[in-house]
Amino acid sequence: MPNLILVHQKTKQDPEDYREIARLVEDSGQGISVFIVDTKDRSPSVAGMDETQSTLTVSPMPLKQFRPPRGTVLQGFEYPKGEQYEMLSAVAMPVPEWIRITPDTKLDPEAWGPYVVVKPELGRKGAEIFIKRTGRVRYRAPEEFDEDHPGRKASMLAQRFIYTGRWPSNFRVVTLFGKALMCWLCEADHSHVPLNSRFDFKAKGGITVVSNKRTSSYSLSFDEGVIALAEACHRAFPDQPVLGTDIVRDSDTGELYVLECNPRGDAWLLSSDMGRMIEQANGLDFKSQFDGLKIAASVLAEVTLARAS
């Protein structure tokens, strides 16, 4: 009888989600015992668990103090964006062309277009992402950035700009070991200055290229192509349980591109503090979209039987 340990982190998952998943797994008749622990638990053992049995520990985010008594551990890991792109490209996922900005970087507008996106390799929540004239992209040494700027910790990247329409938009698909639990479409607030064509960045007042802001609008998406692409991205991250994959569609060509997968795992939007805030502001119910907890239980049972040790 294999064990499944689910690791909980406050504000990132509602423990009630885990309790429901545990019930569904144990009621499935596959002989799996499920245990829920907190990531800050320092106990060397898990109450009630038979440590002689094979065990799988699943932690959407990196473990903190908790250390499983035995078995395979699958947990989130923060790969910088450049590493994500390399891993995704290795399994043939479509990633917009990109480059790390170094002292020797000099981009040709003829090859890259008149504007590119500049962003930090370790940035979060759309911070410090800007559009810049291609010919003006220059290297800045880490010490030249403000103390709290992510450019002090890792490289800045230049990436080909993907035009998603008059206001920037993106899809976010939350997957668990390659199965979609939810999918949204996010579009920037229409109070921003619209980008009426691909490189029309001359308007005054500031044009944003980031869609996921507090004032953005969110809706459930059932786009089969987007969901299939996000599920396929798990081939690049087989040991990271939860991905929050951001995908954009080129407004002119219809092509899909992967912007990042957030393999650190803080993307359990079905019940995280951030997920609930977005649900309430937009009148959504993420769990009911695909019956996410039922899917999660089925996937976790399957992975436990395959990978517990």
Nearest to 236 by CA among 282, 175, 149, 151: 175
- Quote the pTM value: 0.94
Specify the pLDDT at position 204. 52
* pLDDT tens digit at each of 309 positions of the chain: 899 999 999 999 999 999 999 999 999 999 999 999 999 999 989 999 999 999 999 999 999 999 999 999 999 999 999 999 999 999 999 999 999 999 999 999 999 999 999 999 987 666 688 899 999 999 988 888 888 887 787 889 999 999 999 999 999 999 999 999 999 999 998 887 888 888 888 755 556 677 776 788 999 999 999 999 999 999 999 999 999 999 999 999 999 999 999 999 999 999 999 999 999 999 999 999 999 999 999 999 999 999 999
Nearest to 114 by CA among 220, 197, 184: 197
Strand pairing partners for 173?
Answer: 183, 245
Residue environment code for 78-95, b if the CB has 16+ CB neighbours within 10 A, otherwise e: bbbbbebbebbeeeebeb
Specify the pLDDT at position 238. 97
Specify the pLDDT at position 288. 97
Is the torsion defined by CA of 4, 303, 27, 2 positive or negative?
Answer: negative
Specify the pLDDT at position 155. 87
SS3 of the chain: helix, strand, coil, percent, to 5: 25, 25, 50
Sketch the domain layout of the chain as residue ranges: 3-76+291-307, 78-94+162-264, 97-161
Residue with tokens 């596959």, as numbered in its chain: 30
Are 53 and 1 in contact by the 8 Å Cβ rule? The answer is yes
CA angle centred on 308, ends 48 and 292, rounded to 5°:
85
Specify the pLDDT at position 203. 59
Specify the pLDDT at position 143. 84
Return the CATH architecture of domain 78-94+162-264: 2-Layer Sandwich (3.30)
Specify the pLDDT at position 307. 97
Are 96 and 112 in contact by the 8 Å Cβ rule? The answer is no
